[in-house]
Structure 1
């Protein structure tokens, strides 16, 4: 009798272990995998498989999270992230404009309305932003927001621009995104997961909701999450913007994830990723403002010349320069001072 029970127990144990193994293999098979090919990363040639909570790098319509890999993450594991910008995360630029740099420090850069500034300038790509804004009576500076992005990249200095189109009143059922590549308008069908890519597939635009949200992927360079939002009446009352009735100041919320950067990267946001950067933002104040308007101002949205810009017109590739060792863990500075690997969030 005891022998039969023992035999039955082992049979059940073996069947259970087999079933568990099959389930694990099926889950792994249904999850996408990528390999890191960045030579100086700790994860070089290591495969990263997406977690079951977010099994795809390009999830289907309706998904709230997508899989991402970080070749410089010490644990070499793929993770989940939201499909829209996290305005409390590293590499973000939201509000008027509030940045969180590569060093995890919160700062404000107001620039000037109706002017353009280099957010990131590196040897083979640049990201500029056009600011819109207003100045109520009695104020010494403009309130500003990011209205559009201009990207210049590649050996032939290709151009892409994205803008929040002007609207008197915000309508959630209207797409407020304007897109163009090499000066030609892009028609991106409405609907979550709708995709457009260039003929060489060096840039891809993917909707992350039915309207007003996209993910821009510059192949092997960066991922940029973008969301279009208005200045609401509540925002106007709280911050005393003095918003007119005929303009809701539609603007962009943006978050960057860089796949590689050189050690000489520049720009309002780009410089915060440098190993030698010391953030001048004054800590302990409600709005730590940094300057640099004269260093980063460009003539137009797609102009790469500024006093501190390092873009080389595509003549130099990041593959030929010393890269920064990036840790791209998403930082959420809402949960306290310590968030993510090696990042300290300061208020």
Structure 2
């Protein structure tokens, strides 16, 4: 089993790290960078302490151990560094960040099991609202997992964002006073999304594999591997009043109510954080003030992407012959 874990960690690392001759020369000093499923990892000397979003060399090894993480069932690492679980409810939406200029809802999928008081849940998609805009990031429903196939869907204001399946491919759009940029950090199923002055995130689509399902008793069946998102956030300019399941942990006055040290510290408050739909910032604690007068009607139309975005693509650094590493697409 230990050999299998080592192999899995190596595969995750290799698929999402930029190749470098000295890729494993020193241990990372970040206290949250502890290990991947119990296996100690290393990162290069060039990697700074807060390397998940900032360092191209070491993302995202052990990403679920870093502040701003939303992973697994769903396991959160707050801005205060404290880990907790927020199970929510399957087929429901919850606000995870709500501030004056930014609101992020998460849609939970899950499975019920006889004799259990709660569902097994995972985050399937995000609805990110800022200004008059809405960004959807979601994992597609998948039966049998094949990592060579892209299973991540993005739409901006109901228009699909399409990128070539190539690590380094990027897409950008000027929105109001800032440029939204989306880039692949692997050929498939892993992207960064950045809105300067507001947030930066890494989103990965991962499945529930047979062995994981067996160990935890999830009961995953062949018709649905419950592909879901694992996300790492970094925020800029949050107000002192920020709230939401994750957002509240960034407020200066926040004191975690969870029982630190127990195997599964639970964050409650489902009634405060429940939203009526993925693109509606109407949870009880919402702070968001949209600049759009048609936000509700726009939210109702964001179900399935239908029309490709109008984009043009070019090599970011002049193409492969010029040493380029990716493709840039702009609309």
TM-score, normalisation: structure 1: 0.67
For residues 171-222 of structure 1, give each alpha carbon's deviation from its aligned partner in whole angstroms, at most 9, with x where no partner exists. Answer: 0110010110100111111100111112435311110111100001012111
Residue matched to 2:98: 121
* Per-residue deviation, 1:80: 6.3
Residue matched to 1:284: 261
Q: Structure 2: which 5+ runs fail to align?
A: 1-43, 293-331
Distance 1:149 1:83 in 2: 21
Distance 2:256 2:289 in 1: 25
Q: Secondary structure at the match of 1:271?
A: helix
Residue matched to 2:215: 238
For residues 50-70 of structure 1, give each alpha carbon's deviation from its aligned partner in whole angstroms, at most 9, with x where no partner exists. Answer: x99379xxxxxxxxx7883xx
Q: Are the aligned partners of 1:118 and 1:127 in contact in 2 as well (CA < 8 Å)?
A: yes
What pairs up with 1:197-276 in 2 under 5 angstroms?
Answer: 197-200=172-175, 202-276=179-253
Distance 2:52 2:217 in 1: 37
Residue matched to 2:58: 82
Residue matched to 2:130: 153
Q: Relative to structure 2, which stretch is displaced further, 79-88 or 181-190?
A: 79-88
For residues 127-161 of structure 1, give each alpha carbon's deviation from its aligned partner in whole angstroms, at most 9, with x where no partner exists. Answer: 1110000011221110000000111002xx20010
Classify 1:285/1:262 alpha carbon distance in 2 versus 1 (closer, same or farther; 3 Å): same
Distance 1:98 1:257 in 2: 16
Distance 1:299 1:135 in 2: 21
Over the aligned positions, Cα root-mean-square deviation in angstroms equals: 2.1
For residues 103-142 of structure 1, give each alpha carbon's deviation from its aligned partner in whole angstroms, at most 9, with x where no partner exists. Answer: 1101000000011111100100111110000011221110
Classify 1:276/1:183 alpha carbon distance in 2 versus 1 (closer, same or farther; 3 Å): same
Distance 1:242 1:66 in 2: 32
Match among 172, 185, 192 for residue 167 of structure 2: 192
* Per-residue deviation, 1:81: 6.4
Distance 1:137 1:297 in 2: 24
**Bigger radius of gyration, 1 or 2?**
1
Distance 2:105 2:134 in 1: 11
Q: Are the aligned partners of 1:166 and 1:249 in contact in 2 as well (CA < 8 Å)?
A: yes
- Asked if residue 293 in structure 1 is aligned to residue 280 in structure 2, the reply is no
Classify 1:231/1:307 alpha carbon distance in 2 versus 1 (closer, same or farther; 3 Å): same
TM-score, normalisation: structure 2: 0.70
Distance 2:287 2:277 in 1: 16
Q: Are the aligned partners of 1:191 and 1:210 in contact in 2 as well (CA < 8 Å)?
A: yes
Distance 1:54 1:139 in 2: 43
